[in-house]
Structure 1
Amino acid sequence: MQAKKKRIGFLYLDEIHHLFHFISVAVELSKTEDIEILTHPRCHDLLFESIEKLGGTNLKVKRLKTKRFRRFTDKLKKRDLPRKGFWIKKHKNYLLENFDALIFTDYFHHYLLKSRKELYPKLIKFGHGPPGRAYSYKKDLLDFDAQLLVGQFNYDQFEKMGILGPKPITIGYPKIDVVEKDEKKEFFKNNKPTVFYNPHFDPEYTSWDKEGLKVLEYFYNQDKFNLIFAPHLNLFQELKGDRNLSEIPPKFFKVDNILIDPGSVDSVNMSYTKYADIYLGDVSSQVFEFIIEPRPCIFLNPNNFDYTDDISFRFWKIGEVISGVEELDQALENINSVFEGYRPVQERMTAENFYTEEGSTASERAAKAILDFLNHS
């Protein structure tokens, strides 16, 4: 007798940088199971483009509306995404009654946690990037029935902090399975080395507020380097703070050696991390994607954080840390000689960050792990 297909829902109510962390797993599962992407009517076209690229012909997408009044207020407040609590409350019965498992890449599971009966459906947590700042280490992780982890460091830290749930499964980094299908892009018509400036949006940690415009000015006034300025895509979102793209003077958009990208697909699909020669940032875990191919890194610490023994600054062990733009000239001048001391640290950190296994992809391992878990739980 053929086993009944599992019904699994992937909740996608977030910005596009969440998509590549689950879409290839959803496609893999859809080869044998009944899989739905549960999203909203205004979801980005990248979802459908990615499904087509990965050959997900069996994958279903269900675009569910939030309540009419909430849609109206979201429009007034210029929200591209529905407020998750209201969306889930409207569709709670559908979510709880029709799936064997629901998969999240963020922490909005609370709206379902107390409403499900007999721990059903199962709630499974994916990350949306390698573990970096303290945001990666939330007690909420213990709410999930299973966690999919990207590597050994991920597992060890969760265990050390007491947030390793009842079913932790280390599978690798599915995002790589998606982006490796893309051709490498060219962004400048010269042979100058390219610096990728990638500040985070968190107001406590970002280098943008104190140093960002100085960084742009520095590269505007020199001719040795190209600059890609592609911050975390939340940096200029009105809902995340007072910053606005209009604060950047127009002259920076008009020069041939500076590319400014506040949140296109290229800013999340590793196009820039593959292309650039040097990483310049602060606390974005995107740097871990950059050093998969070891290259020089510089980190800005204008807030003078005492970072040496702080796990939130683990990435600052893989490159030089400077206080501000006044030290950038010297850091760039010495970048290649200094880098050789960091290369083995980067290689070790990549091995800790991303589990790999000969003969299978992270997406295949994730799909198998989810089915094994559901079949034995």
Structure 2
Amino acid sequence: MQQKKKRIGFLYLDEIHHLFHFISVAAELAKTEDVEILTHPRCDDLLFESIEKLGDTNIKVRRLETKRFRRFTDKLKNRDLPRKGFWIKKHKKYLLENFDALIFTDYFHHYLLKWRTGAYPKLIKFGHGPPGRAYSYNKDLLDFDAQLLYGQFNYDQFEEMGILGPKPMTIGYPKIDVVEKDEKKEYFSNQKPTVIYNPHFDPEYTSWDKEGLKVLEYFYNQDRYNLIFAPHLNLFQELKGNRKLSEIPEKYFKADHILIDPGSVDSVNMAYTRYADIYLGDVSSQVFEFIIEPRPCIFLNPNNFDYKNDISFRFWKLGEVISGAEKLDQALKNTQHNFKEYKPIQEKMTAENFYSEKGSTASERAAKAIRDFLN
């Protein structure tokens, strides 16, 4: 007897960097189940472009408005995204009564959790990037009925920290299944090696505030390297990073060997990390995407963190750690001979981070795991 199709909702109320972590799984599930992406009327066109790229026509997209008064106040405050609590409160009846499972890529599930009276809908947690900073290790993970994990490190750390939920499912990294469909782009016409500078937006950890303009000045004044400056897309967002793009001098935008991207699709779809030769950053887990193909890395520690035994700085084992831009010239020279020391560490970390299996993709394994769980 054929099982009834499950109704599965993906909540997409976040910035575009969340999209690639779930869209290919939604496409796989839509082959056998009823899948809806639940979003808002102003969601980025990238959602529809990605669905088309994956060749799936069975995904339904439902754009739901927040309350009129909230739309008005969001507009006043220049918010592109609805405030999640108000959006969920307005649509809680639909969400709670029409789905077997709801899937989140962030922590705004509390509103539904307190209103859910039975066992359904099941709440399932995806990540939106490999485990990096302490933000990845959140006790709220225990609220979810199931977790999709990227790899063995993910599983082991969650277990050690007591945040491994009742149904952990290790499936790999679905984002790779989406971005590998894109052709590699060329950003510079010269043959110089390219460095990507990728500072985080968190004011406690970012290298941007103390060293960012010094890094840009260093690259502006040399002719050996190209630079792609592609920070976390929240760095220059008014309600998140709250830095001003206008603080960057115009000369850097005009330089032929410097590309500045404060938050386009290419800053989140691995286009730059696939293109660049050297990674320069601080605490962004994007470095784990960069080292899928092992290459030299340099990390900035202007805040003098005691990082060597801190799991939140695990990625700083992947390359040389320097205090600031004044050490950058030597660190770049060092990459020519010290990468052989870091390459096996990078390969080991990638194997720990991202489970792989011949004969299936991460998206296929994730879809199967969710189906099995719900059945």
Superposed displacement of residue 118, structure 1 = 1.6
1:28-177 → structure 2 map (5 Å cutoff): 28-177=28-177
**Greater Cα offset, 211-220 or 333-342:** 333-342
Work out the CA distance in 2 between the residues paired with 1:340 and 1:78. Answer: 48
1:232-243 → structure 2 map (5 Å cutoff): 232-243=232-243
Work out the CA distance in 2 between the residues paired with 1:55 and 1:316. Answer: 38
Work out the CA distance in 2 between the residues paired with 1:241 and 1:177. Answer: 29
Aligned-partner SS, 1:38: strand
- Map of 2:305 onto structure 1: 305
Q: Is 1:10 paired with 2:10? A: yes
Q: TM-score scaled by structure 2?
A: 0.99
Work out the CA distance in 2 between the residues paired with 1:75 and 1:357. Answer: 46
Q: Is 1:223 paired with 2:257? A: no
Runs in 1 of length 4+ with deviation above 3 angstroms? none
**Greater Cα offset, 241-250 or 227-236:** 241-250
Work out the CA distance in 2 between the residues paired with 1:118 and 1:80. Answer: 33
Letter in 1 for 2:133: R
Work out the CA distance in 2 between the residues paired with 1:140 and 1:149. Answer: 15
- Map of 1:357 onto structure 2: 357
Superposed displacement of residue 241, structure 1 = 4.1
- Map of 2:254 onto structure 1: 254
Work out the CA distance in 2 between the residues paired with 1:103 and 1:158. Answer: 19
Aligned-partner SS, 2:188: coil
Work out the CA distance in 1 between the residues paired with 2:339 and 2:14. Answer: 36
Work out the CA distance in 1 between the residues paired with 2:31 and 2:120. Answer: 23
Deviations 1:131-168 (A, max 9, x none): 00000000000000000000000000000000000000
Work out the CA distance in 2 between the residues paired with 1:196 and 1:312. Answer: 22
Contact map agreement 2:202 2:241 (CA 8 A) in 1: no
Work out the CA distance in 1 between the residues paired with 2:219 and 2:349. Answer: 30
**Greater Cα offset, 239-248 or 351-360:** 239-248
Letter in 1 for 2:85: G
* CA-based RMSD: 0.6
Deviations 1:314-335 (A, max 9, x none): 0000100000001001011121
Superposed displacement of residue 120, structure 1 = 1.1
- Map of 1:184 onto structure 2: 184
Work out the CA distance in 2 between the residues paired with 1:72 and 1:325. Answer: 44
Unaligned 5+ runs, structure 2? none
Superposed displacement of residue 242, structure 1 = 3.6
Superposed displacement of residue 119, structure 1 = 2.1
Letter in 2 for 1:339: F
Letter in 2 for 1:319: G
Aligned-partner SS, 2:228: strand
Unaligned 5+ runs, structure 1? none
Quote the sequence identity (%). 86
Superposed displacement of residue 346, structure 1 = 0.2
Aligned-partner SS, 1:36: strand
Q: TM-score scaled by structure 1?
A: 0.99
Aligned-partner SS, 2:58: coil
Aligned-partner SS, 2:239: helix
Work out the CA distance in 2 between the residues paired with 1:364 and 1:166. Answer: 22
Deviations 1:285-334 (A, max 9, x none): 00000000000000000000000000000000010000000100101112
Letter in 2 for 1:264: S
1:271-350 → structure 2 map (5 Å cutoff): 271-350=271-350
Letter in 1 for 2:368: K
Work out the CA distance in 1 between the residues paired with 2:2 and 2:347. Answer: 45
